Every structure is written in C-alpha cells, then in structure tokens.
Amino acid sequence: MALQAFTDYLLLEKNYSKLTVKAYVSDLESFKKFISETYQSKSIVNVNYPQIRSWIVSLVELGLTNRSVNRKISSLNTYYKFLLKVGDVQQNPLTKHKALKTSKKIQIPFSEREIEVVLNALNFDDSFTGIRDKLIIELFYSTGIRRIELVELKLASIDVHAKTVKVLGKRNKERIVPLLNSVKDTLIKYLAARNTLPVIEDDNQLLLTKKGVKIYETLVYRIINEYFSLASSKVKKSPHILRHSFATHLLNQGADLNAVKELLGHTSLAATQVYTHNSIAELKKVHLKAHPRSKK
C-alpha cells in the first residue's frame, strides 16, 4: 500500500514521468528482494542504515558503478522522505548517508566538421528509412532534444508553418523549440514518405519504423551510432553526445546561457553549465589569439 501511495505521489504531486517512476519502483523492488533474502524481512518500511549499507556493498560487489549505486540510493532516500512526510516512519535511515564518490564524466561533443560530414557528405537514400534517419539526426542537432523526448514526439507536436516543435520534457514540462529551415524541408519530405507506408499502427506518433509502429530508443541509438561511426573516431557516439554538441556549439557561437537552458529544458542553470567546459576552451583560444598582449 505504501508503495502504491508513493507511486501516486511521484506521478501526481511531483509530476515525474512514467519512465522515471518505473525506475524508482524498480530500485525499491530490488532493495525489497535483498532485504527479504538477506534478513528474512517482508517490509522495507522499517529498516536500519546497516541493512542499507550491506545492500550498497552487494551492489558494488556486483560491479555497479558508484553513479548507478547513488541513483538507486537516491530512489530509496526519496521513498523514506515520503514515508516520513505521511507519518509512516519516525526517521529517515538515510539522513546521514554520504553519496559514493564519482569521477566527473567529460562528454566530448562532435565537432562542427563531423556533423557537417554526416549531414552533407554521407548519402541518405530517398527511402522512408533514409529520410527518417536524416530527420532524426537533424532534430537532435538543431533542437538539443533528449532521446526519450524524440521517441515520444507526436504528429500534433509539429507546427510546420510556424517552424516549431512542442517537446514534452522531464516532469511533463512542455517547451516550444524552433525548427531550422533545413529541418523543415526534411520534415516535409519525411511526412510525405510516412504517408506511403502500407500500414501505420501508431498513427499519432511522428517517428515510426518501416512497419508503421512507434520508433524505440535502442533503434534511435543504433541510427546515431551507425552514421557517426562513418564520420567520427570518438569512442562515444550517442544521441546524448548530439545534444551535448548542440549546446556546446551554440555557446561557442556566443549564445546566452539562459537561452540554451530553456532550449534544453533544464530546470536549473547549474545543469546547463556542464556544457560550458568546451566553450570556455574555445574562448581561451579566441582570447589568446586576439589579445594584444598575448605571445605570438
């Protein structure tokens, strides 16, 4: 009962997405299984910190990264904060817990040249999948959209005349993102190709497979990886790197940080500032080249 109430709280009060709530519930179920098998307890409501600590140790021994462990503990912490709020527990056993140390991930964006090669030098055939794949890449790079946001785009999300796309982001927060003329042109071609599909199962979805069903995240990842493997030697080639490239290239060209924050759908400026690392490096180059007292 407490778990169902917690789920309702996340969905209705915190306005978390169904995907996020599913991840929280999965973490809690994992912990519940551990407590049952290790301590023969049927409930995770009244547990102590040493029991949680033993779960953390088991996760690390299983090979999970500190980042993954911290995410699971965050789910657990949110659950106990909820129980405290509704009066089901007297104290949160994770009050004094300190997160495991994690190394900062440096995301290396694609260069502008690499993206130009993919969009202009590689051949996208005029088949449905060729046009769709190009549209996916253009949408990622021109809007900074997240992978799940792209997968969930509806036909009604697109306003071709106004050149905008309505994106449903985290916590069901909507934002309007402008579309470039080049994306509009590819979009019109895609919609025409989409209409030629013999069967369309998910008619309200914008992006479909050639079988007429909603596109899925692993396919989107494969598309990005496949095309960028032809143009880039970077180890990581994913939709998130394209989102990172979008933000970095805008900042390199002098875009306002707050404007980039809104385009990305971030709730705080701190989340956007992680993308300034590469733009600062670019600024240093400009400063060194242009300042009259710099050494030639």
Of 243, 244, 249, 261, catalytic: 243
In the set 97, 163, 189, 240, the catalytic residue is 240
Is 227 marked active-site? no
Helix (H) or strand (E) holding 133: helix 128-143
Q: Which domains does the chain have, with CATH numbers?
A: 2-86 (1.10.150), 112-287 (1.10.443.10)
Of 72, 132, 134, 146, the active-site residue reads: 146
For 208-251, give the DSSP string. B-TTSSB--HHHHHHHHHHHHTTT---S--SHHHHHHHHHHHHH
| φ/ψ of residue 102, rounded to 5 | -125, 145
Geometric angle at alpha carbon 159, from 154 and 161, rounded to 5°: 155
In the chain, the percentage of residues whose pLDDT exceeds 70 is 91
pLDDT at 266: 85
Q: What value does the mean pLDDT of the chain take?
A: 89
Predicted local confidence at residue 14, as pLDDT = 87
Report which listed range, 72-81, 93-102, 286-295, is most confident.
Answer: 72-81
Of the chain, the end-to-end C-alpha distance in Å amounts to: 71
* Opening angle at CA 66, ends 60 and 68, nearest 5: 95
Q: Is the pLDDT of residue 277 over 70?
A: no
What pLDDT is recorded for position 142?
Answer: 93
146 catalytic residue (yes or no): yes
Catalytic-role residue among 154, 163, 170, 184: 170
Residue 243 is a catalytic residue: yes
What are 203-255's pLDDT values in tens digits?
Answer: 999 999 999 999 999 999 999 999 999 999 888 899 999 999 999 899 888 88
Q: Is 244 in the active site? A: no
Residue 181 confidence (pLDDT): 93
Q: Is the pLDDT of residue 184 over 80?
A: yes
275 is known as an active-site residue: yes
Cα separation, 215 vs 150, whole angstroms: 9
Give the span between the Cα atoms of 83 and 77, in whole angstroms: 10
Identify whether 266 is a catalytic site residue: yes
pLDDT of the residue at 76: 95
| pLDDT value of position 267 | 81
| CA atoms of 2 and 86, how far apart (whole Å) | 10
Q: What's residue 239's pLDDT?
A: 94
